[in-house]
Amino acid sequence: MKYISTRGGMLPQPFSDILLEGLAPDGGLAVPQTIPQVDSATLEQWRSLSYAELAAEILGLFISDIPQEDLRQLTAAAYNQDVFPGPHMVPIKPLKGGMSLLGLSEGPTLAFKDMAMQFLGQVFEYVLERRGATLNILGATSGDTGSAAEYAMRGKRGVTVFMLSPQGRMSAFQRAQMYSLQDANIHNIAVEGVFDDCQDIVKALAGDLQFKSDYRLGAVNSINWARIAAQVVYYFWGWLRATEQGQAKEVSFCVPSGNFGNILAGHIAREMGLPIRRLVLATNENNVLEEFFRTGIYRPRSAAQTHATSSPSMDISKASNFERFVFDLLGRDPERLRELWQNLEAQGQFDLSHLKPQFEARYGFVSGTSSHADRLATIKKVQQETGVLIDPHTADGVKVAADYIEEGVPMLVLETALPAKFAETILEAVGTEPPVPEHLTGLASLPQRVVNMACDEQEVRDYIRRHAPVVGSETC
């Protein structure tokens, strides 16, 4: 298995190389040359596997330069009860009316990002050790990516993390999770602006090939293909749990979406042959993606037009992973994609409405949006009906999923985080604050270590120069 760039300017590379690169040298995103296929017989063979075993099988289809036995050890280290201590790994939590939650928030930071980040922490260290190399990870977060990445990378040999976050745009719990870490290899930078500003700085520095090489910049955002591959696993896991043995029926998935990485993994799973009926994309008031799937027009918003909402991890108006889906939509033609992105930069939007019939008929995509009032009502209703307390992002998914439920087709809503991370909104919705896991009860009182910075690419560049480990003679 080799990887190419969506923009056509990268020779085919093995997994370990694109793992350490992040953004492709031509500014595009790495994608597999071909999508591996899984048949119904293989799906049935996988029913008895543990989550770690299933992850090794699926990731093995995308990773040919790591021995399978080593890969099994990496997934066993990433997905075990010490890291995910609940009674069941990725449980299904039934709601009302044919809908269930796929429980992805049982990890150390209480968010679905842990599912991929724990694997990334293991595989980064593995590859770097074998190459005698180091890596400086530069990332941007709207809330959960940052803490999940930092908890996965803390103390990892050869890895230093520089994480950008938007000042005042995350919940107090999310900030405390990140900023309370005191590990020497973790650097938190709070930028004056929105998530898209942080992401633009990351892309600008990653696009400076000399700087990227000099300071060995890598990525943990979902521009890194390894994140997507690891997330593909739980779509297979959810399908296997929601269907009965011997009956290969379809399952629909609803995904709260901001940067398009989580639902892109569902798209990849569907392209691999997993019987997914629909991929239901749910957005909040920042509905750029919902607008595209409804109209065929992609029109990113400016920072000033990006709303601060009660589901802050989805306050994103430029979805960096969307390029990978458009690449498939355009028949995997890098020249057409380059032209489209040039038009986007020049005109601020592009129009693919002529391809709109394919969105659902070919790829299964439908969409919907949710508001603050919807979130409050949904959180309250779900608790009253089932006793289950959900977070605001998951509430966006539950609200939108309700419009797409079909008889005989299980609807799995991907849980985004536990409600403890968003106490203010939960209090407004149900009148009481959510319970906090015992090991995190003192989080808010811990000292915090963060550097506040203007929205300035040069300031971030200079900070990395001052704090990145001294470069030796070894290379990646």
Q: Is the pLDDT of residue 381 over 90?
A: yes
Q: What is the mean pLDDT of residues 71-87?
A: 93
**375, part of any domain:** yes
Question: How does pLDDT run across 187-197, given as a tens digit for each residue?
Answer: 999 999 998 89
Question: How many domains does one find in the chain?
Answer: 1
Q: What is the mean pLDDT of residues 381-385?
A: 96
Report the pLDDT value the prediction gives residue 245, as an integer from 0 to 100.
62
Report the pLDDT value the prediction gives residue 173, as an integer from 0 to 100.
86
Work out the number of other CB atoms within 10 angstroms of the CB of residue 203.
21
Q: Is the pLDDT of residue 395 over 60?
A: yes
Query: What are the beta bridge partners of residue 365?
Result: 279
Q: If pLDDT is split at 50, 70 and 90, which confidence band does 73 have?
A: very high
Helix, strand, or coil (residue 298): strand
**270, part of any domain:** yes
**100, part of any domain:** yes
Q: Is the pLDDT of residue 123 over 90?
A: yes
Question: How does pLDDT run across 177-189, given as a tens digit for each residue?
Answer: 899 989 999 999 9
Q: Is the pLDDT of residue 137 over 50?
A: yes
Q: Is the pLDDT of residue 50 over 50?
A: yes
Q: What is the mean pLDDT of residues 219-242?
A: 93
Q: Which residues neighbour 79 within 8 Å (Cβ) at sequence distance 6 or greater?
A: 50, 51, 52, 55, 89, 118, 119
**10, part of any domain:** no
Question: 331: domain range?
Answer: 92-108+227-430
Q: What is the mean pLDDT of residues 279-306?
A: 95
Q: If pLDDT is split at 50, 70 and 90, which confidence band does 221 have?
A: confident
Percent of the chain having pLDDT more than 90?
75
| Helix extents (H) in 5-112 | 15-21, 40-45, 51-62, 68-78
**C-alpha of 310 from chain center:** 19
Listed residue (52, 94, 84) closest to 413, CA to CA: 94
Catalytic machinery residues: 113
What tokens appear for 395 in the block?
């509430």
**347, part of any domain:** yes
> b/e string for 211-231 if b means 16 or more Cβ within 10 A?
ebeebbbbbbbbbbbbbbbbb
Q: If pLDDT is split at 50, 70 and 90, which confidence band does 248 have?
A: low
**174, part of any domain:** no
Q: What is the mean pLDDT of residues 285-290?
A: 96
Report the pLDDT value the prediction gives residue 267, as an integer from 0 to 100.
98
Q: What is the mean pLDDT of residues 242-270?
A: 90
Range picked from 112-121, 440-449, 466-475 for highest mean pLDDT: 112-121
Q: If pLDDT is split at 50, 70 and 90, which confidence band does 402 have?
A: very high
Question: How does pLDDT run across 335-368, given as a tens digit for each residue?
Answer: 999 999 999 999 999 999 999 999 999 999 999 9
**155, part of any domain:** no
**389, part of any domain:** yes
Percent of the chain having pLDDT more than 70?
98
CATH number at residue 255: 3.40.50.1100
Q: If pLDDT is split at 50, 70 and 90, which confidence band does 404 have?
A: very high
Q: Pick the more confident residue, 475 or 258.
A: 258
